[in-house]
Structure 1
């Protein structure tokens, strides 16, 4: 059985999207018939590491991350090449592995495009993201030679294809975020049951106006507000995160993976912008806009906080499940074909 090593934002990433994405990609590849694990790689800087480890929900995340198959050894930039003989193929992705300059240093960035893997091994980017549709020229110059050496490249945001095409001459595929490679029944397996009452759920990465709107909604319907995170400070574990979204009456967020799970569970939701200029191709909001556009849910995005869409008008009847299933199948087929190469 082929052995597959994944490099992504797994180690000490006490963030819902990061951990659930790492869980989903490992599980999806294992289901395709490969021995697969996360490579425990120190990708984050000391400041971010300390912030995560001191967070209120750190223990929940630590327990969950330990449940994901991973290498026993912790690697750093200086010794990551020593893992090469342990795997037949390598996958980098998903999440913002080619972005986050304030967390992923210039020295670490090449590793996120498998710079340490020799040409004799298959190198695959799955649903790689830069956060936005583009990155700054200095970061591109660091990343480009390594992206160019990848054998198979896919991105999470369709809007990123033109830019990534300038770094790799091959076909750049558009694939689903790993979270969506698993269906609802598979997420239900780890989904922790929340409180048994009607509630409005919020998950805000920054102070974007999410809470203010939720309070207005609460006054209108009399539902309690449950806050998963304020300014990114996680309060419950990944299993509870999935459960709370699944059972919410309404969900207000500014987070990409918050929107992903709302779409999976068809929970009425709105997305507030995290940047001042969402249309900027380098903006982190561009990934949200691309996601909503893929599922024809652009009306869920709050372009103007003085004119917020009516959340009661959010429906999912127009989403063609057969097309969603076909997108999942094509994404899995990309992975399978690349790993069997």
Structure 2
């Protein structure tokens, strides 16, 4: 059976590229022949295109733009290198013009993980709902995320039309499960783990490439800048006497921290694996803290409650919600007994792999 997975494999985002790798490896380990459909979404590709200098009219703004575009090019090269070395991609590059041809190549299409069903993220690109696949038995999802607490009423009809034809649906968040069961009037939607959690510590460690770090350090990784979290990390550093490594995707340096820029996916994994403590507001930052059994603190993103459901679902399932800073976790909560969380995690891993084992049935 040849399976095509469809996800955000070209996103310049650590979680996106690592979940792409993880799902493919999990499928291969189960005996499937699989590759990522190299679909280039116009909406998503535009998001990562360098801005045009001609759009800026001051020397200062042009200088900043040149620096940003330079960083973006370096990051694109790093991520392309990781994908080329570790992930099997379809030989054909697909677009709206030729994606219909792909149905003849594959026995099954698996969309997910990531927020592939968030209309805001994709510009409501129907390809992520497999609208180009005519045979409904070929249409399935793994850990797809809607990223919404509710679907706006003006989109409900279209969501229902697109998703009712799926033969099997699994999602990443329980909120998404509840939403789709109600919308589609079906009770067979499953909640599964993000694919990054299907691989163990040893498997992820094999991808690590060392970079220069202090002997002991606190790692700070933020998807969204947050002074409160940085202040929390500094207080932790003061109590422990450790330096802080800050994975910095911004131009400005954080004073008093070791700013790490242009971090490759392999270096990113190394930084998580070797940290003494981790402070993050990233879902995948939280995931890899757990995979590497680290003492960690996480907090919510300030944008909206929608994107935070993935963290609350994961930590709630593992009995680790007490690691959330906004819910009262302090710098003095420096112990995590992973015995019970891992017992629960292993049950969820088995359930998630079981979903993948029976895709062709």
Q: Could you tell me the TM-score, scaled by structure 2's length?
A: 0.84
**Residue 99 of structure 2 corresponds to residue 80 of structure 1:** yes
Equivalent positions of 1:236-315 (< 5 A) are 236-275=263-302, 278=305, 283-303=306-326, 309-310=330-331, 312-315=333-336
8 Å CA contact 2:293, 2:338 repeated in 1: no
Write 1 or 2 for the structure with the bigger share of helix: 2
8 Å CA contact 1:203, 1:253 repeated in 2: yes
8 Å CA contact 2:3, 2:109 repeated in 1: yes
Corresponding residue for residue 176 of structure 1: 193
Equivalent positions of 1:1-341 (< 5 A) are 2-10=1-9, 12-43=10-41, 44-50=43-49, 55=72, 56-67=74-85, 68-99=87-118, 101=120, 103-106=121-124, 108=125, 110-119=126-135, 121-168=137-184, 169-194=186-211, 195=213, 197-209=215-227, 210-230=229-249, 235-275=262-302, 278=305, 283-303=306-326, 309-310=330-331, 312-338=333-359, 340-341=360-361
C-alpha distance in 2 between matches for 1:64 and 1:215: 32
C-alpha distance in 2 between matches for 1:99 and 1:229: 27
8 Å CA contact 1:271, 1:300 repeated in 2: yes
Secondary structure of the corresponding residue to residue 151 of structure 1: coil
Closer, same or farther: CA 82–144 of 1 in aligned 2, 3 Å: same
Q: How many matched pairs?
A: 329
C-alpha distance in 1 between matches for 2:163 and 2:119: 17
What do you get for the CA RMSD once the two structures are aligned? Answer: 2.3
Structure 1 unaligned runs (5+)? none
Following superposition, the deviation at residue 28 of structure 1 comes to 0.6
C-alpha distance in 1 between matches for 2:264 and 2:101: 32
Secondary structure of the corresponding residue to residue 98 of structure 1: coil
Following superposition, the deviation at residue 104 of structure 1 comes to 0.9
8 Å CA contact 1:205, 1:231 repeated in 2: no
Query: CA offsets, 1:128-185, max 9 Å, x none?
Result: 1122443333344332212111100111112221101134325011111100111111
Query: CA offsets, 1:90-141, max 9 Å, x none?
Result: 100001111161x4112x1x21121111125421110111224433333443
Closer, same or farther: CA 60–131 of 1 in aligned 2, 3 Å: same
Secondary structure of the corresponding residue to residue 35 of structure 2: strand
Larger radius of gyration: 2
Question: Which moved further from structure 2: 49-58 or 18-27?
Answer: 49-58
Closer, same or farther: CA 302–69 of 1 in aligned 2, 3 Å: same
Structure 2 unaligned runs (5+)? 51-67, 252-259
C-alpha distance in 1 between matches for 2:277 and 2:290: 12
Closer, same or farther: CA 311–139 of 1 in aligned 2, 3 Å: farther
Closer, same or farther: CA 100–245 of 1 in aligned 2, 3 Å: farther
